[in-house]
Structure formats: C-alpha cells, structure tokens
Amino acid sequence: MTFHRTALLSLFLASAALPALAQTRAETLRHVTGASINTLDPNMPGSTREAFGLSLLTYDRLVSFGRKQLDGNWVFDLDTIRGELAERFDVSPDGLKITFHLRKDAKFHDGTPVTAEDVKWSMDRAVTARSLAAGQLLTGSITKADQFRIVDTHTVELTLPQPDKLALPNLATVYPVIFNSRLAKSKATAEDPWAQEWLKANTAGSGAYIIESFKAGETTILRRNEDWKRGPGNSQAHFKRIITQTIPEASTRANLVERGDADIVIDLQAVDAADLERKGKLKVISTPQYNAITFVSFNNQMPPFDKVGVRRAIAAALPYEDMFKAALFERGKRLYGATWADGKAPTGDTFPIVQPLKTNLAEAKRLLTEAGFPDGFSTTFSFNVGQAGTAEPMAALLKESLEKIGIKVDIQKLPDAQMSTLINEKKVPFFTEGIVAWLPSMDYFYRNFYIGPIRWNYSSLNDPKLTELAQAARFEGDKAKYAAYGLQLNTMHYELMPQIPLWQPSQDAVMAPSIEGYTYQFHRQIDFRDLSRK
C-alpha cells in the first residue's frame, strides 16, 4: 500500500478534531518511521526496536543515561547514570550493594504511588520470566530475584556477587522497566503469572506519556502524563501529544518531512538524507553510531575462512573507500585507513577503533598464496534483504575486487528470516552484518560478540587467549590495567581478523528546523523526552 504525503496530516487533523484531545500544532510532534511497533512490552522476545523506543516513553526505570557531546552532537553517556524513579542511589565502598531511594512523588498512570514493592516485583519479573531482560541483565551480574531486597516503602537494595561496572548501566536499558505491580498482578493467571499476555497490548507504567491509541504496525498516539516531572529541572515532557505512523516507503517519509507534514524521521536512505541536507531547508543531525559496527564477517570455523591468511588476504583486497561512498555516501565514520606503530593497537580503552586496513592487491595475492590458495577459490557472500540499500552496492564492489586476486564470489541476497536462521546455525561462510552494543564498553564488545557459541559471535571465533583477556577485563577496576587488557585485545582482533570492520554508519535525524534537543540514544530510537520546539 502506498501512503500519500497527506496521510499523516489527515490522521493528525482527524484525531486533533476531538475536543477533549485538541492540541495546538506547536504542542504536537509528528513522527514517521519505516518500521513498526509490535508490542507494548519491551521484554517480549521478538520486540522491535520501535517497541523499545515506545517503552522508554511509557515506563520509567530506576535510572537513565546522561548525555554528552561527541563530535559536535549529543549522544547518550554510558559513564553518567542519573536517577529516574530513584531520586538518588548509593554504592557501597566495596561495590557490592547499590541502594535506590525512590521519589516519593512518583505515580503510575492510574494514580497509584510507585513503591519499593513495584520495583521488587518488576525486577523479579525481569530475571525470572521468559523474556529478553534476563539475558541483558546478566551482563551486569544481575541474575536472581533475591538480589533485590525491599528496605522500606521507598528504598530498594541490590546486592551483586562481585563489583560490576555494568550493573547500573544495565538498569538504564529498555528492559528493567518498573510496572504497576498491583495492576499487572490483577491481570495475571496461573498459566501467566507475570501477565505477559496482557502487557503485550496494555501498559502499566509511570512514564512521561500515556498511550491514547495503539494500532500495531500502523499508528501510535501518545498524550503527555501531566504528573510526570522527571525531565531536566524536574520538568514535564515538552510535547503534549506524539503521533507515530509507519510509512513503509523511504521516499514517502522523506517527502512528508520535507513538506512539513511530519516533524522528524530517523530512518531515511542515506541518499535521501544527503539530498535533504543539501537543500538546506531542514535540520539534519548526522551522528555516527558510536556503539555500532558494520563489518564483513567470516565463519572462522569453516574452510577456507578458518585460515588467518585467507581472512587477511581478503582484508587487503577490499576497496574500502569505494564501498563507503557507494553504500553510505560517506555518511558515517571510517574504521579503516589508520596507521599503527609496530602493528600494535594505539589504545585499549575503547572498541571499535580505526584499524590499519588499506587496499593492497599485491599484498592480498601474496597472503592468499601463502595460505595455500595461489589460484584463489569460489565462495558465496550473503546479506539480508533488509540491508539491500547499503549492502548491494558494497557487495558488488567486493565481488569485483576479489576477482582480481582469484576469488570468485556468488552474491546471495537472502530473506531476513533465512539469513537469521543461517547465522544462528553457523552455516553462512562469508557475509556482511552489523552489531550494536547497548553498553559500549571495550570488554562488553569482546564478551558479547567474540566469545562462545552464541548467535552474536557472528565470526564463531574461539580463541582461548582472547576469551581469557576479555573475561579478566570485565571485573578489572584499575583503569590502567583495564586499558592494558584492551590494548592486547584490540591488537589481537587485528591480527586474527575474525571480521573486517568497515564503518560506523551515521544515524541521520531529519527534522523541522524548530525541533531542538535531539540525542542519539543507545537503542537507536528517538527519546521524545529530549525534544522541544523552539
């Protein structure tokens, strides 16, 4: 179905015509997206990122991330944690206990006060119910219900088995939302003790916005919670209403925001964002996704990619700059082209870092010959259909360049579900994908994407030394020692070449010139609580 540019405007006018809901144009924010919100419970397996974004508005958490400037743009700050439902929190000297002191004025949408009992029930649900929350929280050593203890009506204590620098940041992610436990329990059943079925289509939150209308995959209309005052300076959210509509065609979304029928969009094609930026009529904030990486990956357990020499030969043959221009129109941060002294990584504090990757076909041919493939070989290179806009031009250039060193490539554009299955089953040999770390610390990247037989270890890397270093770094409290671990890990990543990091794509937020406060968030969605209209 094709949506005309007037579709969103018609929706806005129709809904705003209701007397009880009428708002001025300035007080309403209109957002278009190519994706859809499929559930109101962010913990449900299969939840979309858009569902995560909605939950940030309808639910509160104990804490949230601060923000910082990075390359001139606002981004979330992993190292600054501020209270949300907790007006303050205390960490014990040994780092094993975190005590949260709840705001006494916080209320759920039905007027019920938020208490420690609600926090306890919600955290028990997060680590006990079948959900996405448990897998995330364990990365911060939060794994059991008995780690949370009610001290009094407005105080909750979390006990950790060891000091963990990611415990607090984990509580700021989308999963550990605080539910109105009395309401949720009233909807629970013996078969569904955590009210998961009811919470898919209903909310029990205390967040900045209340759902006025929700049509899964189509439209969501929110109205401001007038009792919520947890913005900067204990303020309300700026906008009284937010309308989000799914518009599948990227060109239509671009037209809507260009003509003023929408206020903001963050998922345009790079070519459309570049075109709108060139015209100069809209505000375009282009932020490299500093917690994300696009890469070319090998299955390190599958011949011939089990040979480091083959992987390094391909890394020397890729036409990096041509791919970057064709796929992203240079909208992002390059992760190639660095110069390292003595082949050692220049830093260990962060990952990813720019690697000394450059196109050198003679070197590629030499490495391939040394690896035992002087005449090359044949292989497939896969990507999912959803990535076609960027992956297709990149794959064509990769194929052309590898042919020059004798590697014949058959490009496979696969349906998303098939690609996901092949990755899960470790059956795809050579492909492109992306990873995103909600908590982009150096050790988190390595522990979650380069260790063990899990889905997110796309390369199936199994190196005992790298595993040992990554696990040691996790609980290292000394900054110098932590950086030393990272220095070894970053150097090993380049030497082993389990994947070839290409770039950090930009998230292009295109908006009306009057919109202020946009911040790139960890879940790559808009936090509408940040926004205002000048």
**End-to-end CA separation in angstroms for the chain:** 35
Give the confidence band of 1 by pLDDT, cuts at 50, 70, 90. Answer: very low
Once rounded to an integer, what is the mean pLDDT over residues 388-398?
95
Q: What domains appear along the chain, each with residue ranges and CATH number?
A: 1-59+207-282+512-534 (3.40.190.10), 62-190 (3.90.76.10), 292-506 (3.10.105.10)
pLDDT digits (tens, 9 = 90+) for 63-81: 999 999 988 999 999 999 9
Sorting pLDDT into bands at 50, 70 and 90, what band is 233? confident
Reported as a single tens digit per residue, the pLDDT across 404-424 is 999 999 999 999 889 989 998
Q: In this structure, what token pair is assigned to residue 276?
A: 């709108």
Residue 454 has a pLDDT of 87
Question: Across 70-74, 180-184, 388-392, which has the greatest mean pLDDT?
Answer: 180-184
Lowest mean pLDDT among 187-196, 276-285, 385-394, 479-488: 385-394
Q: What is the SS3 assignment for 264? A: strand
pLDDT in tens, 434-457: 999 999 999 999 999 999 998 899
Residue 21 has a pLDDT of 43
**Which ranges of 4-93 does DSSP label H, i.e. alpha helix?**
7-16, 49-58
Task: Provide mean pLDDT across the span 160-185.
Answer: 97
At residue 26 the predicted structure's pLDDT band, cuts being 50, 70 and 90, is confident
The whole-number average pLDDT for the span 273-284 is 96
Q: What is the pLDDT of residue 224?
A: 97
The yes-or-no verdict on residue 16 having pLDDT over 60 is no
Per-residue pLDDT, 296: 98
Q: 499's torsion region: left (phi>0), alpha (psi -120 to 50) or beta?
A: beta
Average pLDDT score over the chain = 93
pLDDT of residue 397: 98
* Percentage helix, strand, coil for the chain under 3-state DSSP, each rounded to 5: 35, 25, 40
Q: How confident is the model at residue 232 (pLDDT cuts 50, 70, 90)?
A: confident
Pull the structure tokens for residue 90.
Answer: 């205390």
220 pLDDT higher than 80: yes
Structure tokens at 416: 């998303």
Predicted TM-score (pTM) above 0.85: yes
